Structure 1
Amino acid sequence: TAIVEAAQASGLDRVATEERDAWAATSRGTGELIVAATEAGAETVILTVGGSASTDGGSCALEALEAAGVDPDIEVLCDVRTPFEGAARVFAPQKGADPDTVERLTGRLHQLAQDAPRDPRGEPMTGAAGGLAGGLWAHRGARLVLGAGYMLDAVGFDARARESGFVVTGEGRLDAQSLDGKVCGEVATRCLHRGLPCHALVGQNALERSEQLTVELASVDEATTLEELEAAGRRLVSRG
């Protein structure tokens, strides 16, 4: 089994701000890493997605797999629940796309979906990484799972939560996307189901009050320095 991180091959952080091109960016590098892992002997590839620069529906990653003639078992750990057709609308603006480019990208995704062996539109998580998850699901039968839940299970979160009086989670920017499959939202949801108070320490809180109430976060505090984090921690302990 091999683990491939899409952000290391096709990630937005790999491209300088002035060089970002939402239309031209591709997922081919991720496909090449999957090929390399397979040729090195991996029969199963766990692909973590998120933070990608591309919105190509995984078409270029698929081209790399096809050219190499490899067909590994692929499990995709997704960071959002967004369906395939929503990938451009939700994520392309942060990749440098203006409104016209978002429309063009959306049209391209719809065309890719129509040409696929099975239609990824409407399927949860298929829009992750600019539709890369959906392309692999549609053409290669990849299994899509929420990465947040996968990682929480891997570290034994539920057992640890049962022994805790409250839980603290965090994120750089807390917003509506945080509740759509990301770790912060998954932690809050699991705590809600257990009646366990969940507090969030974040760099910036952009969550509407109504959205905060959907997962019943006990508190949300902004902290951007070590001193602020330590002070927030002391306040949480004093609250009990």
Structure 2
Amino acid sequence: MKRALVAPDKFRGTALASEISFAMADVLDRAGYQVGLFPMSDGGEGLLEVFGGSNRSAVVTSADGRRIIAPYRLDGQTAVIEMAEAAGLTLAGGAANNDPLYATTKGVGELIKAAIFAGAKKVIVGCGGSASTDGGLGAIEELEPVVRLKGIELVVAADVEIRFSEAAREFAAQKGATPAQVALLTQRLEALENHYFQRFGVDISSLEGAGAAGGLAGGLAAIGGHIVPGFEVAAEFNGLYEALEGASLIVTGEGFLDSHSFLGKVVGRVVSLALEHGVQYLVVVGDCDPQVKENRRDRSIIFSLVEIVGEEQAYRATLESVRITLESALKLHGLGSL
């Protein structure tokens, strides 16, 4: 029996990665495949789910200064944190309600500290979905004196590949920043690079991924954190790399395909792995930027729920729409026995 793998990211706002995985697996099972499920995350929202969900919580400061309860996971001496649970844009009420100049990562520092006090010796911080562009300053100030991190392995799971000073130019507008505010935030980040070098002796200016979560990744790197692609953290944990051997098909996807999807995000990483291992792949997304799809040589394997079932059904009945869309993709490419 042929083996197929499903390795989607979440469809933000409509379905978890695990829910999308089960919907895809249902179709592939009926098509005659032996299916392996690997719900994924790029280090942003959904990383906790990959590791089994939260089992602890702490009261921390949100990006807009409120006191909130933030979940995290502690297994033995390993903690998993999503920065978005403390300083996420969704928690701040979206871009329209966010204050991009004052949004803070203070709560992320509080959450890291809580995990360490609970016994963690290794802390994995998922960097994605942020409201802030403070370069991690709020978190670092909360963790001072950083000597308390001695003996702690701090893994910074980045969801993008941009450098520290690029964070505002690339993503601050999505967090509600005006062009003038983007320029000011960029100046702040450039000043912080120098401050971190003077304070901690670490040059983060050329670190790939340091701009993740509004520069939080770079800030944590300055105090000893190790930046790694969030996708790798998830894939190593759930065994995706090993599962690729002998697979004949892999299906991935996300809520919206855009130019960033192939720059460190789940879809781009899965496609690269498939090409590396010579595995047939399909991409099923909620919707996509038509220009991005048109510019792809592999555009014939990209399928959008909105294109197949329409926008209303894609949002109202996402999981059923995933099933319909994947079934159409398999039939079009003559894959399986539907």
Contact 1:84 1:127 in 2 (8 A): yes
Instruction: Specify whether residues 187 and 61 from structure 1 end up closer, same or farther in structure 2 by C-alpha distance, changes over 3 A only.
Output: same
What's the Cα RMSD here? 1.7
Equivalent residue number for residue 130 of structure 1: 214
How many angstroms does 1:145 deviate by? 0.5
How many angstroms does 1:227 deviate by? 3.8
Equivalent residue number for residue 14 of structure 1: 91
Amino acid at match of 1:167: I
Structure 2 length as normaliser, TM-score?
0.67
Equivalent residue number for residue 51 of structure 1: 129
1:50-199 superposed matches below 5 A: 50-66=128-144, 70-71=148-149, 72-116=152-196, 117-138=201-222, 140-199=223-282
The total of aligned residue pairs comes to 237
Instruction: Specify whether residues 36 and 211 from structure 1 end up closer, same or farther in structure 2 by C-alpha distance, changes over 3 A only.
Output: farther
Instruction: Specify whether residues 211 and 151 from structure 1 end up closer, same or farther in structure 2 by C-alpha distance, changes over 3 A only.
Output: farther
How many angstroms does 1:154 deviate by? 1.8
Equivalent residue number for residue 42 of structure 2: none
Equivalent residue number for residue 33 of structure 1: 111
**C-alpha separation in 1, matches of 2:145 and 2:241:** 43
| Most deviating of 107-116 and 60-69 | 60-69
Instruction: Specify whether residues 217 and 209 from structure 1 end up closer, same or farther in structure 2 by C-alpha distance, changes over 3 A only.
Output: closer
**C-alpha separation in 1, matches of 2:300 and 2:156:** 32
Equivalent residue number for residue 309 of structure 2: none
- Which sections of structure 2, spanning at least 5 residues, go unmatched? 1-77, 306-313
How many angstroms does 1:217 deviate by? 5.9
**C-alpha separation in 2, matches of 1:166 and 1:236:** 12
Spell out, residue by residue over 1:100-126, the C-alpha distance to the aligned partner (whole angstroms, 9 max, x if none): 000000000000001112221221000
**C-alpha separation in 2, matches of 1:59 and 1:236:** 46
Equivalent residue number for residue 219 of structure 1: 301
Secondary structure of 1:48's aligned partner: strand
How many angstroms does 1:180 deviate by? 1.0
Structure of greater relative contact order (alpha carbons < 8 Å, 6+ residues apart): 2
How many angstroms does 1:161 deviate by? 2.4
Instruction: Specify whether residues 211 and 181 from structure 1 end up closer, same or farther in structure 2 by C-alpha distance, changes over 3 A only.
Output: farther
> What percentage of aligned pairs have identical amino acids?
38
Larger Rg: 2
Secondary structure of 1:212's aligned partner: coil
How many angstroms does 1:160 deviate by? 2.4
Contact 1:27 1:54 in 2 (8 A): yes
Amino acid at match of 1:157: L
Equivalent residue number for residue 235 of structure 1: 328
